[in-house]
Amino acid sequence: MNAYAALEQKFARIACLNEASSMLGWDASAMMPEGGAEARGEQLATLAGLAHEFLSAPDIGEALAAARPETDWQEANVGLMREAHIRATALPRELVEASVRAGRACESIWRQARKDGDFAAVRVALGEVVALTRESAGILGKALDLAPYDALMSQYQRGITAADAEAIFTRYEGFLKDALPRAEALQAARTKEELPPGPYPEAVQEALARKLAAAAGLKFSSARLDRSAHPFCGGTPTDIRITTRYDEADFASALMGVLHETGHALYEQNLPAAFRRQPVGEAAGMAVHESQSLIVEMQAVRSDAFLGHLAPLLTEAFGKTITLGGLKNRLRRVQRSFIRVEADEMTYPAHVLLRFRLEQALLSGDLAVADLPGAWNDGLHSLLGITPPDDRQGCLQDIHWYDGAIGYFPSYTLGAMAAAQLMAAARRALPDLDDGFARGDFSGLSGWLARHVHGLGSSLGYNEILAAATGEALNPAHFEAHLTARYLT
C-alpha cells in the first residue's frame, strides 16, 4: 500500500470515530435521559481522545511526508490532512479530553440554568470551558501561525479571520443603522394581516414539515426528524439526524426550523461519495454550511413565489384560512427582538455581531465570565436599542459557548451573505427558478447547488467556492440588495 492510500485508510478510521461521536451527541440532545449526562460526557471525551491519538500518531506524519497525490482532489485531501495533523500534534490529548468533558458537563448544567434564567448556576462551569478553550487557542495559534481567536474560527471556517469578519460586520452595522428604522416605518404604514390563532397540532406540523422537507429533496430513507430543545442537523451523510421543537400556538417556528435544517441535510447528502470519510469529502466549513440552510429557508422558502404555494397547503393541513399576507407578516416581519433564533434576517446579524465581539473579549480575558450578563445586555442595547429582561432571554439563550463552541458564531452571518450571493447567481443561471418555487419545486435550485457547492466538498474554501459559483469572492452588497428589495421597497 502506498503512502497516500495508507493515509486514506487512517483518516477513514478517524472519521468513523467522529461519526460515532456525532450520533452520541444527537442522542444526548434528542433521546438520552438526564441521568445519562455524566456517562455520555465520558464516552465522548474518550472518543475524542482516541481520534486525537490516531490523528497525532507519528505514522501519520511519516505517511504525509511520503505521500505522492496524483490528482487535484488528492492534493487537496493531503493539504487538509496535514493541517489536521498539525492541530492534533500541537494539542495534548489530556487537554482535548478535558475540553470535551468540560463542555458536556457545562451544557448539562446550562439546560436547567436556561430554564430557570439562572446564570450564576452555570457561571463556574462556563469559566472552566472558557479557560480550557483559551489554553487550546493559544497552542493552536502558535502551531498555525494565527492569532488565538483566528485559530478557533478556522476550526469552523478556514480562510476567514477575525479581521475579515470585523470589516464585513462593521459595514453591515452601518447598513442596519439606516435600513432598520426605514424598514420599520414602511412596515408600520402597511395593513397588518394576521394568521388565525392556534392551536396548530404538533402531529399536523410534523407531517407537513416532513412533506415539505421531502419536496425540497431530503431523502428520509437516510434521515430522521426528532425533537430537541435546540433545532439542529447532525449525524452522517447517510444517516442524517434533524431535530426541531414545536409550539402549538405558532406553526412557523418548527416549520422554518425543519426547512433550515433540511438545507444542511441536503448539503451532507450530496457531498462527493467518492471521498466519503476523507477531509476533502467533508463540507467546506460552517459558513458554507449555513449558506446552504439559509438559501433554502430564507432565500427560497420565504420568497413570494414559494409562500404563494405554501399558503393553500397550510390552509388545507390546519383547516384554518392562511393567507399570503398573513404568512408574509409572520415570516418576513422586521422586529427588534431578544432571541437570535427567532430574529428576522435583517436584525439577525446584529445578534451575531454581539456574540462575535463578546466571545473575543472572553477569550482574551478582557471580559470576565461573571460580567457576561451585563456586557451582553449593554451590547444588545447598543446594537438594537433593546435590553433583555432576564438572562434566559440574554446570555443563556444559546447552547454554543456552554458546549465549548467559541469561534462558531461568525459563520451564521457569513453564511447568510453567501446565501444571498449564491441565490443571485442561481437566478441568473436559471431565469425560471421562481416559477419552480411557485409550484413547490426545488429541483432547479438543488441541482444547481449540488453542482456548484455540495459536490465540491472541501476541495475549495469559502471564498473560492463563491468565486467559482458567482464570479467573485464574498461581496456583502448582494445581501444588502436582497434585504433592500424585500424590506425597503
Q: Looking at the annotation, which residues are catalytic? A: 261
Spatial separation of the C-alpha atoms in residues 174 and 392, rounded to whole Å: 29
Q: Which amino acid is at 255?
A: L
Other beta carbons within 10 Å of 70: 9
Q: Which amino acid is at 298?
A: M
Q: Give the position of cell 441536503.
A: 266
Q: 422-451 burial string, b = 16+ CB within 10 Å, else e?
A: bbbbbbeeeeebbebbbeebbebbbebbbe
- The 8-class DSSP code of residue 119 comes to T
Q: Which three cell numbers stand for residue 240?
A: 442524517
Report the SS3 class of residue 232.
Answer: strand
Containing H/E element for 233? Answer: strand 232-236
Containing H/E element for 239? Answer: strand 239-244
Q: Could you tell me if 388 and 394 are in contact, meaning their C-beta atoms sit under 8 angstroms apart?
A: yes
- Report residue 228: phi and psi, to 5°: -155, 170
* Residues with Cβ within 8 Å of residue 37, at least 6 apart in sequence: 28, 104, 105, 108
Q: Is the peptide bond before 33 cis (omega within 30 degrees of 0)?
A: no
Q: Could you tell me if 167 and 474 are in contact, meaning their C-beta atoms sit under 8 angstroms apart?
A: no
Three-state SS sequence of 367-388: CCHHHHHHHHHHHHHHHHCCCC
Q: How many residues does the chain have?
A: 489
* Percentages (nearest 5) of helix, strand, coil residues in the chain: 70, 5, 25
Residue 217 CA to its chain's centroid (Å): 19
